[in-house]
A = this chain, B = another copy of it.
Amino acid sequence: MSGTGFAYPHLFGSKVPPPAPRWAGHPKYNFIGGHNDPSLVPVEALIEATQTVLRREGQSLALYSLAQGPQGYPPLRQFIADKLKRWRGIDSDADGVLVTSGSGQGIDLVNQMLVEPGDTVILEEFTYGGYLTKLKRIGANIVGAPLDDDGIRIDALETILAGLKKKGTTPKYICTIPTIQNPTGSIMPLARRHQLLAMAKKYGVPIFEDECYADLTWGGMNAPPALYALAPDQVVHIGSFSKTLAPALRLGYALAAPEFLGRMTAIKSATESGTGALEQMVVAEYFSKHFADHVGKLAGQLEEKLDTMIEAVEREFGIAAEPWRPKGGIFLWIKLPEHVDTMKLVQPALKAGIAFNPGPEWACDGADSKSRLRLCLPFRRRKSSAKASRPSPGSALRRPGFRSRAGTSGAPAPARKENAL
């Protein structure tokens, strides 16, 4: 239809964005987006799972939501409940799980439950850019809570909560990624989790817990229990299969107390006709048998990629780059010297075929993050031929010039300004 115009552009709504640019493919060196490794998609096992599940119950695709209701395919919800019980300490069952079309839909539903224009929410100072764009669209007031190596700083959080209380403001939630924080990759220790829950309870604020990366911790899924496991009446919990299996599948999930989850389900089913059932069926069938094996293998290979990336960052940037070594996940959060503005590097990098997230896209306060950037792990692993001529993975981390965390090496770490309330 190229060349045919739309006759009534003056009727477009006032908030309609400009057209999406024509898709030009990813840059050659793409360090954006939670992509997985093409070689780790278990193609034959997915085919086998498809065959098994479709022969058993494929005919039910003829019915909306497989005639199983709006919460999602029951065997997938059962698998989610089982995996969260085994690895995240959560005591739930299939009825306590809502399947969502990616965790993005989970975020939208939580926001629809709680956040109205002008409401205040507390996010981690550095956080997933998607939260920020969604909340800005709603017109929420975003307050960033400072982070350290263990996640949200409780003292700083109390200062924020007390300040808001003085103004008569109850934030609608504290949004946290306690297990493999995005972008820092930290894991909140158990004691801090209890402190966070106590502080949130003291000020009457729910916690919105996102565990999209929790299954990808180095050395096995042995993080402290989810916040939702510790205080299910205070917490709404979401997760995803994008990172553990494949992001082109759109499957996530949410757990919350029944009166919360039931309303989320009502909002979801009022606006769409269910999450794609074939993907739910295939993932339930595959992961019910292969989850631990698959995720263990995947995490090991992601850590190998991370080591390669850290090695390259060290080689190219020397002590100018200060990464927070993540404890899992798919990204590396790097601090460059204070005077560097990573926003100014985006376009020159793109011209060289390199894409990354500049810090301000992943932070509540753009100014505080301007010298930072996020690099997602590359699609592919190091070629084994190249590997032989380079230091073994992990070696870079042991070199004295490379700080795995701010303040933990001997080299002077640039001061980190905290977000002002």
Point out residues on A near B: beta carbons under 8 Å.
Answer: 1-2, 4-9, 11-14, 16-20, 22-23, 25-26, 33-41, 43, 46-47, 50-51, 54-55, 58-71, 91-93, 95-96, 101-102, 104-105, 108, 112-116, 133-134, 137, 170, 172, 201, 204-206, 232-234, 242, 246-251, 255-263, 265-267, 269-279, 282, 379
Contacts and interface: CB of A to CB of B under 8 A. Distances in A.
A59 B39 contact: yes
Most chain B CB atoms below 10 A, which of A36, A38, A93: A38
16 contacts: A1-B91, A5-B257, A6-B206, A7-B234, A8-B206, A11-B172, A14-B116, A19-B259, A43-B54, A50-B50, A63-B248, A101-B250, A104-B273, A105-B272, A250-B274, A251-B276
Contacts of A266: 17-20
A270 B13 contact: no
B6 A233 contact: yes
Given A38-B59, A63-B247, A267-B16, A257 B112 contact: no
B258 A1 contact: yes
Given A133-B270, A273-B102, A258 B8 contact: no
B68 A23 contact: yes
Contact of A41 (B50, B61, B64, B232): B61
Copies in the complex: 2
B263 A249 contact: no
Contacts of A5: 233, 257-259
B33 A64 contact: yes
A227 to B, nearest CB: 13
A180 to B, nearest CB: 19
Contacts of A93: 1
B278 A249 contact: yes
Nearest to A49: B50
B262 A250 contact: no
A47 B46 contact: no
A13 B204 contact: no
Nearest to A24: B69
Contacts of A258: 1-2, 4-5, 19
A33 B114 CA distance: 31
Contacts of A233: 4-7
B62 A17 contact: no
Given A16-B267, A113-B13, A267-B17, A63 B36 contact: yes
Contacts of A267: 16-17
Nearest to A63: B35
B6 A256 contact: yes
A20 B62 contact: no
A47 B47 CA distance: 8
A62 B244 CA distance: 10
A269 B206 contact: no
